[in-house]
Amino acid sequence: MKTHDLVLLLLAASFPLTVPAAGQHSHSHGTHASHNHTTAAGHASLSGQPGDPGKVTRTMEITLSDDMRFRPSNVQVKAGETIRFSVRNSGQLDHEMVIGQLDDLKAHAVEMRNNPGMPHEEPNQVYLKPGEHGDMVWQFTTAGTVDFACTIPGHLEAGMIGKAIVR
């Protein structure tokens, strides 16, 4: 009962984040740094780049939990926006949020499984112990879909995946 109410509350709280600003239209900025992280599969991943904390346009709160879910698991952003993800681990297990394209995230998950002690500090990820909170600033450069996932062994596989729709 209580958890259900809480979930509804969280859902309701996430709505304002998805409402586009009225009348605003982001036209192409002439300043697209072209970042072509070409993967083994040969496609360029269009996930954007680490953002400048001084240029954050919005903050989004994301909660990671032991039911292997991100809340919210779908967010909407505009191309060019710099988002501060304010990420909280509400569970009893370690979790993380890694931004990228799903293929890359899956590859990362395999690496994690094969190298349990591997160093873990990249600008596209935030790793959180139970109860911890951390920030990640990311600039979404190109329209499309950007995935995020928890690549701790078993978590992505259990559905701990989300996506950002970039318009």
Residues that bind Cu ion (CB under 5 A): 95, 150, 152, 155, 160
Q: Do β-strands 74-77 and 161-166 pair in parallel, antiparallel, or remain unpaired?
A: parallel
The distance from CA 159 to its chain's CA centroid, rounded to whole angstroms, is 14
Asked whether the beta carbons of 74 and 103 are under 8 A apart, the reply is no
Say if strands 44-45 and 133-139 run parallel, antiparallel, or are unpaired.
unpaired
Residue 68 vs 77, nearer CB to Cu ion = 68
Shortest distance in whole angstroms from residue 81 CB to Cu ion: 25
Radius of gyration of the CA atoms of the chain, in A: 16
Nearer to Cu ion, 46 or 64 (CB): 64
Q: What are phi and psi of 122, to 5 degrees?
A: -125, 155
**Which lies closer to Cu ion via its Cβ, residue 66 or residue 143?**
66
Cβ of residue 161: shortest distance to Cu ion, in angstroms? 10
Shortest Cβ 79–Cu ion spacing (Å): 28
Q: Which of 117, 139, 116, 136 is nearest to 127 (CA)?
A: 136
123 vs 153, beta carbon nearer Cu ion: 153
Nearest approach, Cβ of residue 152 and Cu ion (Å): 5
Cα 145 → chain centroid: 11
- Under a CB-based contact definition with an 8 Å cutoff, are residues 79 and 141 in contact? yes
For residue 41, the surrounding DSSP H or E stretch is none
Nearer to Cu ion, 82 or 89 (CB): 89
Residue number of the CB closest to Cu ion reads 150
